[in-house]
Amino acid sequence: AMREVIERVRLVAALGTTVLVRGETGTGKEGLARMVHDFSPRFGGPFVAVNMGAIPETLIESELFGH
């Protein structure tokens, strides 16, 4: 099962697009996001993890889209 996840991560990472990873607490979302970043064309740039649960709902849009 993990090999399939890694293969999908590689496919998504190759697209070079922004990715939103969702899931329950403790499921490895940040690790998965870091893998996407590491396999992407942006691997040389910064990796920024954002805990959306810690941001007030009224500010989420501006955090994601810079408004």
Domain boundary assignment for the chain: 2-65
Query: Do the Cβ atoms of 61 and 67 come closer than 8 Å?
Result: yes
Model confidence, pTM:
0.79
Q: What is the pLDDT of residue 35?
A: 96
Q: Report the pLDDT averaged over residues 10-22.
A: 92
* Residue type at 12 in one-letter notation: V
- The gap between the terminal CA atoms of the chain, to the nearest Å, is 39
Question: Which residue stretches of the chain are H helix?
Answer: 2-14, 29-39, 57-65
pLDDT tens-digit profile of 30-67?
999 999 999 999 999 999 888 888 999 999 888 888 87
Q: What is the pLDDT of residue 65?
A: 85
Could you say which of 1.10.10.10, 3.30.70.920, 3.40.47.10, 3.40.50.300 is the CATH number of the domain covering 2-65?
A: 3.40.50.300
* Separation between Cα atoms, residue 36 and residue 14, nearest integer Å: 9
* Residue type at 19 in one-letter notation: V
